[in-house]
Amino acid sequence: MRIVLAVGGGIAAYKSAEVARLLVKAGHEVQAVLTASAQEFIRPLTFSTLTGKKVITELFSESSYVEHIEVAREHDLLLIAPATAGILARLANGHADDFLSTMYLAFTGNVVLAPSMNDNMWSHPATQANLALLESRGAKIVSPGDGFLACGTTGPGRLAEPEDIVAAITPKSDLEGETILITAGPTQEPIDPVRYLSNRSSGKMGYALAEAALNRGAKVILVSGPVNLKPPAKAEVIAVRTAVEMRDAVFAHLEGATIIVKCAAVADYRVANVSQQKIKKTAARLSLEFDPTPDILAELGRKKGDRVLIGFAAETENLKQEAERKLESKNCDMIVANLAAAVESDTNEVMLALRTGETISLPRASKREVAEKIFDQVLKLRLAMSAHGD
């Protein structure tokens, strides 16, 4: 691939020299770009030596062609590592005040951002809003890790390891041949012709799983409750409203599925006597009676065969115990547990409870990144299960 490696001005800039070395070693053609602040931390000579190419350090040069447009046109991928808070803000707002921000606007290929900054700067709503905006426009984020930061504090903000950054830009096709059935979003249980009961699930986690799976070569069947999201173009989408409709759609598509991810926030109860007419307002107290809905995941647990079955658990307390209990009681291979507060968010912090007895806590990251890690674990689990003849 032809890659622009742009380096921002943060202490982690020294690590991007290793990123450049690994990219060149993997056979990529690398054009390094250093912002003015990056040059306070690391010299262009380091990158020109590693990449064998003159490094771009400013917007205006004496050359006869319009360099920021040419560079944008000639490269397939723009990787920014470290992406500082300032770079994220400038890109999110479309500023064009240096080589990187100007070239970014002209760039039509894939963009990968590896942010790094102080933990408070990272958590600031402005930074998180900029990141969410850039991600919604298609940028892939390689989230920082947790650890000791140069400013003396410990927390999220440390640049991802160079190997992980390079792995993130390497296309995978490790889900080729799989048919993945994903449920997403809430269900709506009618009360009368105009009212319903539902929950705050946004569907973002399930849609991120669908995108990640498609990107890794899988066929995806997405059974979706009502959400405000555009489904990935290549997914087969089945739109449902109620828990019963979701159950029917899932079992109608179970046959060909090899992996099932039950990400949807299914209502546990539905109104027993749905009124055929709109319920009138009176001064009296109104009671509704509920019947339990079918537990789709539990039924899948009984009928799964050798499919990999993944359930979700959104809890307000006792995350680990609840995840382990559901793993067992619903006969799943993995439970992805998160705090209920994550439902509407763009990021998620989850714990994976696996059939092997292992539990893995993942650091807070975008839902897309969490999706990638879930599938990494599914593939490992499959290997472990076949080794045990499970």
Site residues (vs ligand C5P, CB under 6 A)? 243, 262, 264, 266, 268, 293-297, 311-313, 326
* Contact by Cβ (8 Å): 206, 256: no
Asked if residues 348 and 206 have their Cβ atoms less than 8 Å apart, the reply is no
d(CA 150, CA 161): 15
Q: How many CB atoms sit inside 10 A of residue 233's CB?
A: 8
Of 260, 239, 251, 250, nearest to 188 by C-alpha is 239
CB of 135 to ligand C5P, least distance (A): 24
Q: For residue 144, say if its preceding peptide bond is cis, omega within 30 degrees of 0.
A: no
Of residues 28 and 262, the one with the C-beta less far from ligand C5P: 262
- At its nearest, how many Å lie between ligand C5P and the CB of residue 351? 14
What region, left, alpha or beta, does residue 9 occupy, with left being phi > 0 and alpha being psi -120 to 50 degrees?
beta
CB of 259 to ligand C5P, least distance (A): 14
Query: Cα–Cα distance between 205 and 182 in angstroms, integer?
Result: 10
Q: How far is the CB of 326 from ligand C5P (least distance, A)?
A: 6
Q: Which helix (DSSP H) or strand (DSSP E) does residue 296 occupy?
A: helix 296-303
What single-letter amino acid sits at 62? E
Nearest to 96 by CA among 65, 72, 131, 126: 72
Rounded CA-CA distance 193/181 in Å is 30
Cβ nearer to ligand C5P, comparing 55 with 296:
296
The residue (of 110 and 331) whose beta carbon lies closer to ligand C5P is 331
Catalytic site residues?
151
Of 112 and 296, CB closest to ligand C5P: 296
Smallest separation (angstroms) from ligand C5P to the CB of 223:
10
| Smallest distance, ligand C5P to C-beta of residue 244, A | 10
Which residue has tokens 């903000």?
A: 157
Per the DSSP assignment, residues forming a β-bridge with 115 are 83
| Pick 90 or 247: Cβ nearer ligand C5P | 247
HSE-up of residue 373 (Cα within 13 Å, Cβ side): 21
Taking the least distance from each CB to ligand C5P, the nearer of 296 and 354 is 296
Q: Provide φ and ψ at 310, rounded to 5°.
A: -120, 125
- Do 34 and 61 meet the contact criterion of CB atoms below 8 Å apart? no
